[in-house]
Structure 1
Amino acid sequence: MFVGFDYGSANCAVGIMQNDVVQLLALSEQSAYLPSTLYAMDRDLIAEAVYRSLPAEFKADYANKRAAQISRARMVRHELDLDANTQAVFVGEQAVSAYLDMPEEGFYVRSPKSFLGATGLRPEQVALFEDIVTLMMMHIKVRAESVLVEKGLVQPGAEAMITHAVIGRPVNFQGIGGEESNRQAETILTLAAKRAGFIGVDFLFEPLAAGMDYEATLTDNKTVLVVDVGGGTTDCSVVKMGPAHKHKADRSEDFLGHSGQRIGGNDLDIALAMDAFMPHFGLGSLMTNGKPMPSKAFWNAVAVNDISAQREFNTLSSRKLIDELIKEAEQPQLLSRLLKVQQQQLSYQLVRQAERAKIALSDAEKTDINLDFIEVTLHAGVSRDLFDNAIESSLTKVEALMHQALAQAAHTLAAKNVAATNALPQDIATVNIEQECKPDVIYVTGGTARSPAIYAKITGIYPDTPVVVGDHFGSVTAGLTRWAQKLFAKH
């Protein structure tokens, strides 16, 4: 069976085709979406969990590569008084619950996809992310196949129920690193999918996938600017769509321009946590010498999608720095809260509360966020104006990506015109790089695009162009599913 697999920064989803209609499979008890999170009582237990679930043909090679981690996992189980069958690694909602119960005792990662293209990863870090993604994909594949059995679409015990998957990927996994970052991330995802039991794997840009789902509804041909503002990245694609295009097996001629950057919902949450919460922890306060409090420790506390920042914040030297800041602060009680975040590893909880504020502000001008996990009576008032100010730089980047995709599309069309008229290649250079292709429609998708601030920015850039809002969470999965049927059915 062929599936579309959205391994997202915020959530994961899997789709199948039934009677030419996309159906998303329930990956959790009450939802088709599984939070992109993992929690382990110890990180070496991740390798152990992967090894236990690997297909037989991968076990020997994996055991050789992860011998040290698997050996340490046995010692960890002894130290934690866990028997061999006690679950020690959790995915999705179970991971969130385990982290909230034991934030300082285990290893928690949210949005692992955001790290896959990071530059400067050491081999052991790449190996860790390979294992995290593998374990999550294993969990999702097993869950999806159990749903297929429940629906009566496959027989219990059938081998390789789900064999092939088209996995969505952003245009760029990182703002820096270029194609090397993209290759690193795709390599990790491919290896993880193979280890999880997928026989065939291919990739499709997420905005193109979202656009394909929209294309299924079109009765006229249009040039569409797809803007996909997701949890980890924002991606834009300019695509020719409609009845004359959607049945093509090769769509490369229809894809006119792409742009993407690692700026998404996670970044908005972090920016909001910094501006709305960190003043309650001492940001903006003064030291006894009258100088402003240095901001780096506050940023490191909330920058949960930055490996270097989190590693630095969790060091003993960071703890000592905060201790020194407490001694020099005019309001030491505020800095004591920051110390608690560092000691008890509460960064993800803070950013999670910022995410809740962001969601609440989609329907309200103000919201009050409880921070009682820091202090019983601590709470923070958050307004839509504060949120808008916090994410202003992110909105500017989203606008730049839209312009970039349309400028690239204009250049592509100019090149095609040159080729069609047998003009000289250098004539392409006469096209001003700032010139843009005018879209007929802007198609907006991605969970983060639900925010009124994001939507207002997108619609305000081209006020005369119609805007269509897709399924914020399901359109990418639906497009991936449609493409999987077209791609793999040929083989």
Structure 2
Amino acid sequence: MIKTALHFLIATTAPAGAATSMTYCAIDFGTSNSAVALPEGESIRLAPVEGEALTLPTAVFFNTDEDNQSYGRAALEAYIDGFDGRLMRSMKSILGSPLADQSTDLGDGSAIKYTDVITLFLQHLKQKAQALATEPITRAVLGRPVFFVDDDPRADNMAQKQLEACAHAIGLREIHFQYEPIAAAFDYEARLTHEGLVLVADIGGGTSDFSLVRVGPERAKHLDRKRDVLAHYGVHVAGTDFDRRVELGTILRELGYQSIDPEGRELPNRVYFDLATWHLINTVYGPKRVGELQLMRHLYTDVRHHERLMRVVDRRLGHALTAHAEEAKIDVAAGGATEIDMEEVEEALRIAFDESQLIDAGKEEMRRIVEAAQETVRRAGVATGDVGAVYFTGGSTGLKFLSDALAAAFPDAQPVFGDRLASVATGLGIYARRVFA
């Protein structure tokens, strides 16, 4: 049923004989959140993508109980409400990997390719833009990270081609790509009255990308901005990596992660890493894997850990635990403390979590992100003191300890915070207007 619906969708999104005067949109397909922009008169507007919301979580839920799909917050709510099916998040992170062309089980005996899931999600975004457009949308600018895949140009190029193929499949005939941090620079530039040198820090769910850009009202008049982009660099480390560290350091310790067996050795950790990685969670639920985990009971000196692990596997709670880790990160992001409620695993099981634990869990990720920002400026051949502003965008810039660390690395620069979830989409829209209009 899913495949049939997808094939019908692809076949009907680009009607023959479409008008030659075509409208266009800009799509910010993010690891954690997404948005779509389109022209409105002389300006750019974001399309409502879920009710009145201008951004939505990058999530799809394949509801096998009701044989349908839901997107964004509705997808997360359907999953939490207990409907049978498969929740997909962080789909962008599989681009360029061997998983991209593989299929995933939906839980009812059917399967779908990962790239087809991305196609469905892009189609959902395009439909929201199309609802506001007066003509068929057949051209688009898509954002992309500086690197889809670190230190692997071939895989990085493959990732863009895979995303481009998904965009073509929904009827987009002319596609341009723009680096996400450069798009954010265009959004920042739109409010400037003077020229300056800005380091854009775009830290989302899957990547931390940096661009050093000369900006200003006169420069904004030119379509070709190659000379204004002095350097760009990035690392495949961002919000979901902090979530993973939080889950491993708190929740999964209560299931036996890094515990010692009777022989004094650390327990095998693969199951824990898989449970903390969105696109690998379902691999833990296969009959063969479950049988292997059941046979490991004798390795646990604290049998409660094994019992909790098996409850998580038997009840398929992996995605729920990852969501708990993300919620805990958000709760303490600006300082404070919270409790992680593990009632679905064991009655009265709660885990205290505070900012110091968050900082400790993410210190390696923070170091790599700050070094990537510094490397960007080094590649430009510019002194740190010449950077006039650091422009923060992307959901993970809400982590105060991380934005503070980046600001401290450029003490002479003014920290400026854009719309964490929408500035890239707006900047992509600005670029789309320049390209297509």
- Name the TM-score, length of structure 1 as normaliser: 0.78
Report if aligned partners of 1:167, 1:480 keep a CA contact under 8 Å in 2: yes
1:256 is displaced (CA, Å) by 0.9
Q: Secondary structure at 2:210's aligned position in 1?
A: strand
Report if aligned partners of 2:387, 2:412 keep a CA contact under 8 Å in 1: no
Q: Secondary structure at 1:243's aligned position in 2?
A: coil
Q: Given the alignment, which residue of 335, 338, 348 partners 1:377?
A: 348
Distance 1:295 1:257 in 2: 39
Moved more, 184-193 or 3-12: 184-193
1:213 is displaced (CA, Å) by 0.3
Distance 1:124 1:453 in 2: 38
Change beyond 3 A, Cα 1:403–1:25: same
Moved more, 292-301 or 328-337: 292-301
Q: Secondary structure at 2:177's aligned position in 1?
A: strand
- Name the TM-score, length of structure 2 as normaliser: 0.87
Distance 2:349 2:265 in 1: 26
Change beyond 3 A, Cα 1:296–1:124: closer
Distance 1:202 1:25 in 2: 20
The aligned residue for residue 13 of structure 1 is 35
- Tell me the amino acid that sits aligned with residue 100 of structure 1: I
1:262 is displaced (CA, Å) by 1.4
Moved more, 475-484 or 357-366: 357-366
Q: May I ask how many residue pairs the two structures share in their alignment?
A: 408
Q: Given the alignment, which residue of 313, 321, 337 partners 1:366?
A: 337
- Tell me the amino acid that sits aligned with residue 449 of structure 1: T
Distance 1:321 1:332 in 2: 16
Residue 462 (structure 1) aligned with residue 433 (structure 2) = no
- Tell me the amino acid that sits aligned with residue 210 of structure 1: A
Residue 264 (structure 1) aligned with residue 249 (structure 2) = no
Q: Given the alignment, which residue of 157, 177, 200 partners 1:183?
A: 157
Residue 203 (structure 1) aligned with residue 177 (structure 2) = yes
The aligned residue for residue 449 of structure 1 is 397
The aligned residue for residue 425 of structure 2 is 477
Q: Secondary structure at 2:250's aligned position in 1?
A: helix
- What CA deviation, in whole Å up to 9, does each residue of 1:185-219 have, x standing for no partner? 21222121122122321110000000110011111
- Tell me the amino acid that sits aligned with residue 71 of structure 2: V
Q: Secondary structure at 2:113's aligned position in 1?
A: helix
1:437 is displaced (CA, Å) by 8.0
Structure 2, unpaired ranges of 5+: 1-22, 105-111
- What CA deviation, in whole Å up to 9, does each residue of 1:78-110 have, x standing for no partner? xx8xxxxx643332223223323447x433211
The aligned residue for residue 109 of structure 2 is none
Change beyond 3 A, Cα 1:35–1:248: same
Moved more, 257-266 or 189-198: 189-198
Residue 88 (structure 1) aligned with residue 78 (structure 2) = no
Q: Given the alignment, which residue of 91, 98, 103 partners 2:78?
A: 98
Report if aligned partners of 1:213, 1:479 keep a CA contact under 8 Å in 2: yes
Q: Given the alignment, which residue of 249, 252, 255 partners 2:229?
A: 255
Q: Given the alignment, which residue of 318, 322, 326 partners 1:355?
A: 326
Residue 166 (structure 1) aligned with residue 141 (structure 2) = yes
1:295 is displaced (CA, Å) by 2.8
- 1:53-202 map, 5 Å: 87-102=67-82, 105-118=84-97, 120-121=98-99, 123-125=101-103, 128-146=113-131, 148=132, 154=134, 159-160=135-136, 162-176=137-151, 178-202=152-176
1:174 is displaced (CA, Å) by 1.6
Q: Given the alignment, which residue of 225, 230, 250 partners 1:276?
A: 250
Residue 329 (structure 1) aligned with residue 303 (structure 2) = no
Distance 2:214 2:31 in 1: 27
Report if aligned partners of 1:39, 1:106 keep a CA contact under 8 Å in 2: yes
Q: Given the alignment, which residue of 382, 389, 392 partners 2:363?
A: 392
- Tell me the amino acid that sits aligned with residue 58 of structure 2: S
What is the root-mean-square deviation in Å for CA atoms of aligned residues? 2.3
Distance 2:389 2:303 in 1: 54
Report if aligned partners of 1:228, 1:236 keep a CA contact under 8 Å in 2: yes
Distance 2:267 2:100 in 1: 33
- What CA deviation, in whole Å up to 9, does each residue of 1:242-295 have, x standing for no partner? 123111110111111111121111111111111121121122433234443333
Report if aligned partners of 1:129, 1:188 keep a CA contact under 8 Å in 2: no
Residue 286 (structure 1) aligned with residue 260 (structure 2) = yes
- Tell me the amino acid that sits aligned with residue 79 of structure 2: Y
1:19 is displaced (CA, Å) by 4.1
Structure having the larger proportion of residues in strand: 2
Q: Secondary structure at 1:246's aligned position in 2?
A: helix
Report if aligned partners of 1:222, 1:242 keep a CA contact under 8 Å in 2: yes
Higher gyration radius (CA): 1
Distance 1:373 1:487 in 2: 51
- Tell me the amino acid that sits aligned with residue 442 of structure 1: V
Report if aligned partners of 1:297, 1:318 keep a CA contact under 8 Å in 2: no
